[in-house]
Amino acid sequence: MQKLMGTTVYGGIGRGVIKYFHRDEIAISKARVVDTMRELRKFAYARNEVEEELKKLYEQSVPVVGEDEAQIFLIHQMILDDSQYVDSMESLILNEHCNAEYAVVRTVKMFSKMMEETSSESEYISERIADIRDVSARLLRHIQNRDEKDFKLDEMSIVCADDFLPSETIRLDKSKVAAICTSYGSANSHTAILARTRGIPCIIGMGGELKESLENKYCVVDSYSGIMYIEPDNETSKLLDHKEAVEGRKRELLTRLRGRKNVTRDGREIEVLANICDLTDIENAKRNDCGGIGLLRSEYLYTGKNDFPDEEMQFYNYRRVLTEMQGKPVTIRTMDIGADAGLDYFGLDQEKNPALGFRSIRVCLSRPQIFKTQLRALYRASIYGDLRILFPMIVQPGEIIRIKEIIDEVKAELIQEDKPFKDDISLGALIETPAAVMLSDLLAEQVDFFSIGTNDLEQFSNAIYRHNPHFEDIVPDDHICVLRMIKTVCDNGHAHGLKVYICGEFGADTSYTEVFLDLHIDGLSVTPTNILPVRKTIRSLNLSDRRQVRQNIQKYLKC
Ligand code: PEP
Ligand code: MG
């Protein structure tokens, strides 16, 4: 038996035969050509073929995986049309008299290097590089007149690869995929997102030990623990069977909580909402019986594009989430984008510390046109449900005052254009900076609710970048600082009659649910799969013992 370990993306037990996905990468070397026109024609032919192929793939994918996932093929068409990308290949052929294949390979290298050097957001960049490689692999195939390799699965399989290109995961026959394991990849890669959305056990970052020579070996993946057992012995198989039964039972028991209230034994009810990143997460949020959407990170509308999303596109997206939620609250956060997103069309200067830089509401307020487009789409969509708008990275009340002036302008425009909207949308401040905590009494005079973004609040208050590998070592285990801040925000918010939510990951930590309730948090917004575990904890609590509450506060807040 061999054991390989990696990082869990979605927990489960998967059994099957290892199928190693390897694309036919052919070594390409530079050749000097005399007839450059012939190479240009080969390149033009390949581009045409790829364009047709991508169009077909998009049309075929929409009914199977839905419009959002199929969009990857539209993004690939944009890459194919990108003038810099095309110019690079054409000028290499003309200026260096090289073969078309080499021009493609060189361009991929140059683009990858350039992107890696100009951005510190490594996960985002590696996804974009994967897209460029994907399109380029198609070009190469057509330049060399090769057929597309099919990755057919005949039996339940553990699908392995160094990493998957976006269009490869989409083409996998999911009914035969017992688990996905990759050597590299990131938690936000297309592979990871797909696995989470579909509930496929998945482990990433298994390193070089995961290799082709394992092909066809039987294997059991325990992605609860991030372990892959290759040819497990009897004892391990039995233990894993047992674990599967226990975890399965736990999940099944949790599903019984669907339709139940988030209410403590002594009758305190609290909202439990879902954090979602795009429209594909709605289904999962509903399946887990969310009380509404507590945070829709609207950045997905901007990333992976080469221009700002227009008002109609945004309106369509906001309307869709509101109608899907059928009257339940939907909190949409306005875009939180900075130089680290690597979006050229924003025209943001590179900066050393984009997390602390010109981002988010700062961009919106200094370039109101971008902000107004989003607000117009939000206000127009507001008539389709219970919309709340949340503003990120707030540090002072003046920002909210300015936001409200811009909203007044938007409303006046919509009235003039005879476009209906709700006048009284709840406006909230995302409390994710220490400044916002300290000024929460003043901010409370300006907004209708608070939502505490503990992810950023932990990083800014403990002065440690949230993606720093030492983050866990620096942030104290008892979270005393952020808990005290939550108390301040709750006290100030409640003094002004505001509801206070937590939407950072900390809100899903069930070992703190009791403390959050002791502090009178009104709602928790968590990833969809955490909704039922949080509900279970809430239902097990009894807060009627005041002495216990005081002891909890003393223990956790040390005051
Ligand atoms: C937060 O900072 O806690 C938050 C909810 O926002 P994000 O994780 O998107 O920064
Ligand atoms: Mg944040």
C-alpha 364 to ligand 2 mean position (Å): 15
Ligand nearest to the CA of 295: 1
Residue 546 has a CB neighbour count (10 Å cut-off) of 9
Same domain, 301 and 436: yes
Residue whose Cα lies nearest atom 9 of ligand 1: it is 297
Residue 315 lies in a domain: yes
Residue 9 lies in a domain: yes
Contact (CB, 8 A) for 270 and 517: yes
Same domain, 333 and 192: no
C-alpha 376 to ligand 2 mean position (Å): 23
- The token pair that represents 384 in the structure block: 């389709």
Residue 422 lies in a domain: yes
C-alpha 524 to ligand 1 mean position (Å): 13
Is 290 among the residues known to form the active site?
no
Angle between helices 36-65 and 83-96 (to 10 degrees): 160
Domain ranges, residue 208: 2-23+150-235
Ligand nearest to the CA of 504: 1
Residue 29 lies in a domain: no
Residue 402 lies in a domain: yes
Q: Find where tokens 């901007």 sit.
A: 302
Residue whose Cα lies nearest atom 6 of ligand 1: it is 453
pLDDT at 190: 58
Residue 243 lies in a domain: no
Same domain, 378 and 454: yes
C-alpha 320 to ligand 2 mean position (Å): 24
Identify the H or E element spanning 235: helix 234-255
Atom of ligand 1 nearest to the CA of 275: 5
Mutation pick for ligand 1 pocket among 276, 277, 297 (CB with most ligand atoms within 8 Å): 297
What single string gives the DSSP state of each residue in 336-350? Answer: ---GGG--GGG-PPP
- Catalytic-labelled residue, pool 142, 190, 219, 490: 190
Q: Find where tokens 């482990």 sit.
A: 203
Is 481 among the residues known to form the active site?
no
d(CA 553, CA 559): 7
Atom of ligand 1 nearest to the CA of 451: 5
Residue 87 lies in a domain: yes
Reference 272, options 549, 485, 527, 10; nearest CA is 527
Identify the H or E element spanning 117: helix 100-118
pLDDT along the chain (559 residues), means of 10: 89 94 70 90 93 87 74 90 92 93 91 77 75 89 77 89 73 85 71 67 89 92 95 95 93 93 97 90 92 94 87 95 97 94 89 93 97 98 98 98 98 98 98 98 98 94 82 86 97 98 92 96 93 96 87 86
Same domain, 290 and 274: yes
Pocket of ligand 1 (CB under 6 A): 295, 297, 336, 432, 453-456, 503-504
Domain of 47, CATH number, reads: 1.10.274.10
Number of domains in the chain: 3
C-alpha 352 to ligand 2 mean position (Å): 18
Same domain, 132 and 166: no
C-alpha 355 to ligand 2 mean position (Å): 9
Q: Which amino acid is at 285?
A: A
Residue whose Cα lies nearest atom 8 of ligand 1: it is 455
Atom of ligand 1 nearest to the CA of 456: 2
Same domain, 228 and 120: no
Same domain, 398 and 262: yes
Same domain, 472 and 421: yes
Same domain, 112 and 259: no
Same domain, 301 and 197: no
Mutation pick for ligand 1 pocket among 275, 335, 503 (CB with most ligand atoms within 8 Å): 503
Residue whose Cα lies nearest atom 4 of ligand 1: it is 453
C-alpha 53 to ligand 1 mean position (Å): 38
* β partners of residue 331: 388
- The token pair that represents 87 in the structure block: 């110019």
Domain of 8, CATH number, reads: 3.50.30.10
Atom of ligand 1 nearest to the CA of 392: 6
Same domain, 224 and 111: no
Residue 380 lies in a domain: yes
pLDDT at 196: 66
Residue whose Cα lies nearest atom 7 of ligand 1: it is 455
The last residue of one of the domains, among 235, 268, 297, is 235
Identify the H or E element spanning 136: helix 122-143
Residue whose Cα lies nearest atom 1 of ligand 1: it is 453
The last residue of one of the domains, among 109, 143, 177, is 143
Same domain, 414 and 340: yes
- pTM value surpassing 0.85: no
Mutation pick for ligand 1 pocket among 360, 430, 464 (CB with most ligand atoms within 8 Å): 430
Atom of ligand 1 nearest to the CA of 432: 2
Domain of 402, CATH number, reads: 3.20.20.60
The last residue of one of the domains, among 93, 128, 143, is 143
